[in-house]
Structure 1
Amino acid sequence: MIDIHCHILPFLDDGASDWEAALAMAQDAHREGITSVIATPHHANGQYMNNAPKIKEAVELMNERLRQAGNPLLVLSGQEIRIYGDLLNDLERGELLSLADSRYILLEMPSSRVPRNMEEICHELIIQGFVPVIAHPERNAEIAADPSKLERLIELGSLGQVTAQSLAGVFGNKLQKLSLELCRRNAVHVLASDAHDSVHRPFGLNAAYVVMEKELGPEMRDYVRGNAQQIMTNGEVIHGKHVQTRGNRQKLFGFFFRKG
């Protein structure tokens, strides 16, 4: 398994507090069957500023610590970038990171709203050859009230990334229902842990994939798992159509259309 969004690097944000915590998270990931993670420290969220050189250095140190510990987990570089005014300029200046040096870039919105310039920023990134990945849209109040606002971003060519614990029901029934609804609206393309520690915010990908298979079908589970690999390797994520089959089950159609 691949995890494209986690906070495993120590000392940078509200994720791993020190090397001991970071290595404990890495052990958890390895035990869960995760082979690679993309470390995505918060950037420009009003509390943390983690530019590209700082993260690259931390990733190098993390992988060296993992080698010393005999843990085969591979950590790759990324950022969870809050939407802010100088985003496009800072990207041009080399201060921002895509996910694992791919064309996919992880964007975070405030929890209360969709920024007024969100469509504009996504559109500009797509013109420049990037693919915006919208982090945990199920935790955005405006999207919860009107999921079509996420669908509009998907239509532009963005991807939706739901948090594993949201879909698994760990964060409550309301978030789980919304996460499944966004999947049924074809607005979710990848599942990620957003792990911050080993206790309160663990990886939990396996549990989420079990729920996804039960509620949406094995085709959807395989599609989403495959997309994490595609993002990490800078491959092609295909926008799929889902249809109602029996009861609450969903199935992935055998045809696709390309976006972005």
Structure 2
Amino acid sequence: MIDVHCHILPNVDDGAQTIEESIAMGRAAVEQGITSIIATPHHKNNQYENTKPQILAAVAELNQAFQAEGIQLEILPGQEIRIFGEILEDYQRQEILSLANSNYMLIELPTGQVPRYTEKLLYDLQMEGLVPIIAHPERNQELVQRPDLLYQFVKKGALTQVTAASVCGAFGKKIKHFSHQLIEANLTHFIASDAHNLAGRTFMMRKAFKEIQAKYGMDTVYLFQENAELLVEGSRVYKEMPERIKKKKIFGIF
């Protein structure tokens, strides 16, 4: 199993703070059945900046530490990039990292809203041969209220990644409900941990896939797991035809 979104690099953002914590997370990941993790530290989110050279060096160090500890886990380079207008320019300046040296790029939207320029930026990235993956759309307040926005992004070529903990209800019933709506409507393409630590924000991948299997069948589990493998290979991922989410007023949900 490959985890395409994780904050396992030590002391670079709000994820693991020490090498010891990274090693503990690595052991926990292996117990989950994870064989490779794309390290995706925050970049340009008004709090952290982690440029390509810094991340490549940190990934190499962590892989050495895992080898020394006998942890059978490969760390691959990536970034979780908060959306901003000059992403392409910074990518061309070698400051922006794609995921695992592929043409896939992990883009984070602000929690509360979707910037007006989002659609154009997603289009511009695709025109440069990059495939934008919107990180955890289920936790964006505007997308929860206006799911047709996300439908339009996916219809026009963007992909999305839902967090395992969201599927399991760790962020609350409303986010869990929306996560399952995204799966049902073919509006997400990856399930990833977005793990930050082993206390409040851990992996939960096995639990999420168990829930997905029970509700949607093993084929859906395979689709998400194979898409992560295809991403790392730089191949085209599986996409089903996206559908609009019909909002229903459910007591306690909306």
TM over 0.5: yes
For 2:222, the equivalent position in structure 1 comes to 222
One-letter amino acid of the counterpart of residue 26, structure 2: A
One-letter amino acid of the counterpart of residue 52, structure 1: K
Does 1:111 find its partner at 2:124? no
Identity percentage of aligned residues: 43
8 Å contact 1:9–1:15 — kept in the other structure? yes
Deviation at 1:85, TM superposition (A): 2.3
Cα displacement string for residues 82-108 of structure 1 (whole angstroms, at most 9, x for unaligned residues): 001221110111100000000000000
Distance in structure 2 (CA, Å) of the matches to 1:204 and 1:56: 26
- Give the SS at the match of 2:38: strand
Unpaired runs of 5+ in structure 1? 244-260
For 1:34, the equivalent position in structure 2 comes to 34
Deviation at 1:218, TM superposition (A): 1.6
Distance in structure 2 (CA, Å) of the matches to 1:242 and 1:235: 20
For 1:139, the equivalent position in structure 2 comes to 139
Cα displacement string for residues 149-199 of structure 1 (whole angstroms, at most 9, x for unaligned residues): 111110111111000000011221111110000111111100000000011
For 1:248, the equivalent position in structure 2 comes to none
For 2:190, the equivalent position in structure 1 comes to 190
Distance in structure 2 (CA, Å) of the matches to 1:166 and 1:186: 16
Distance in structure 2 (CA, Å) of the matches to 1:177 and 1:89: 37
RMSD: 1.1
8 Å contact 1:184–1:242 — kept in the other structure? no
Distance in structure 2 (CA, Å) of the matches to 1:177 and 1:217: 18
8 Å contact 1:162–1:188 — kept in the other structure? yes
For 2:58, the equivalent position in structure 1 comes to 58
One-letter amino acid of the counterpart of residue 189, structure 1: H
One-letter amino acid of the counterpart of residue 23, structure 1: I
Distance in structure 1 (CA, Å) of the matches to 2:51 and 2:114: 24
Does 1:100 find its partner at 2:100? yes
Deviation at 1:7, TM superposition (A): 0.2
Distance in structure 1 (CA, Å) of the matches to 2:18 and 2:199: 15
8 Å contact 2:160–2:188 — kept in the other structure? yes
Distance in structure 1 (CA, Å) of the matches to 2:186 and 2:35: 27
8 Å contact 2:104–2:133 — kept in the other structure? yes
Distance in structure 1 (CA, Å) of the matches to 2:28 and 2:54: 25
8 Å contact 1:135–1:161 — kept in the other structure? yes
One-letter amino acid of the counterpart of residue 230, structure 1: L
For 2:18, the equivalent position in structure 1 comes to 18
Count of matched residue positions in the alignment of Structure 1 and Structure 2: 243
Cα displacement string for residues 118-159 of structure 1 (whole angstroms, at most 9, x for unaligned residues): 111110111111100000000000100011111111011111
> Where does 1:115-194 land on structure 2 (aligned, <5 Å)?
115-194=115-194
4+ residue runs over 3 A deviation = none
8 Å contact 1:102–1:233 — kept in the other structure? yes
Cα displacement string for residues 227-247 of structure 1 (whole angstroms, at most 9, x for unaligned residues): 11111111111211489xxxx
TM-score, structure 1 as length reference = 0.91
8 Å contact 1:97–1:105 — kept in the other structure? yes
- Give the SS at the match of 2:240: strand
Describe the shift of the 1:96–1:4 C-alpha distance in structure 2 as closer, same or farther (beyond 3 A). Answer: same
Higher mean Cα deviation, 52-61 or 207-216? 207-216
Unpaired runs of 5+ in structure 2? 244-254
> Where does 1:78-97 land on structure 2 (aligned, <5 Å)?
78-97=78-97
Distance in structure 2 (CA, Å) of the matches to 1:166 and 1:185: 16
Distance in structure 1 (CA, Å) of the matches to 2:25 and 2:78: 17
Cα displacement string for residues 52-110 of structure 1 (whole angstroms, at most 9, x for unaligned residues): 00000000000000010011100000000000122111011110000000000000000
Distance in structure 1 (CA, Å) of the matches to 2:66 and 2:39: 14
